[in-house]
Structure 1
């Protein structure tokens, strides 16, 4: 008797996490750069390197939003409602971007 391996007949849906993470971080970096590099004369109490924190924290929050999008894309490929997955991803990304911006600018521009 000969057995056939059924796993070769099913297509593999590989979801790349890297691309959505990089896109999410890039959009967040552009958003926070608009605020950070728009400051001509920062307050002296902010410190010399005040802009490093927002330029790190906010893109990390954007990257997490991109990772959530990749997770929802994977769930959509497994049968979850695709429209609901995209809408939920957008809402989670925007809330994460807002929270990352607030956390990054806390103590400086967000007072």
Structure 2
């Protein structure tokens, strides 16, 4: 008799993946909002709506990081990695993604 692994047949749970993405986006939005709240006198050359770009891009990077976190933790057995390694790897991917999203969102304004 051949044993079949149940983890190979697990479908993606859209609601759980969406919650992880929303959590990542909310954390990114809170972080960039706190950072932008400290700007008292922005450069007039940036324009009136200079905050929109970082307030959109950083939460999108956070949402992607949250989705990657879900995928790594959901499929860690199929990928052949230990769960602790998947947690650390997903945290590193999230932090790097959030940093790159911040750079992309702030380029030309606060990131010179």
TM-score by length of 2: 0.83
Report if aligned partners of 1:13, 1:77 keep a CA contact under 8 Å in 2.
no
Q: Shift in Å at residue 77 of structure 1?
A: 5.3
Identify the residue that residue 84 of structure 2 maps to in structure 1. Answer: 83
Cα distance in 2 for residues equivalent to 1:47 and 1:35: 18
Report the equivalent of 1:93. 94
Hey, what does 1:41 align to over in structure 2? 41
Q: How many positions carry a matched residue from both structures?
A: 103
Offset at residue 80 of structure 1 (A)? 3.3
The 5 Å alignment of 1:1-111 reads: 13=10, 15=13, 16-76=16-76, 78=78, 80-111=81-112
Distance across 1 between alignment mates of 2:89 and 2:81: 12
1:28/1:59 contact within 8 Å kept: yes
Higher helix share: 2
- Name which of structure 1's ranges 73-82 and 42-51 shifts more when overlaid on structure 2: 73-82
SS at match of 1:17: helix
TM-score (norm 1): 0.84
Report the equivalent of 1:6.
Answer: none
| Secondary structure at the counterpart of residue 48 of structure 1 | coil
Is there any run of 5+ residues in structure 2 with no aligned partner, and where? 1-5
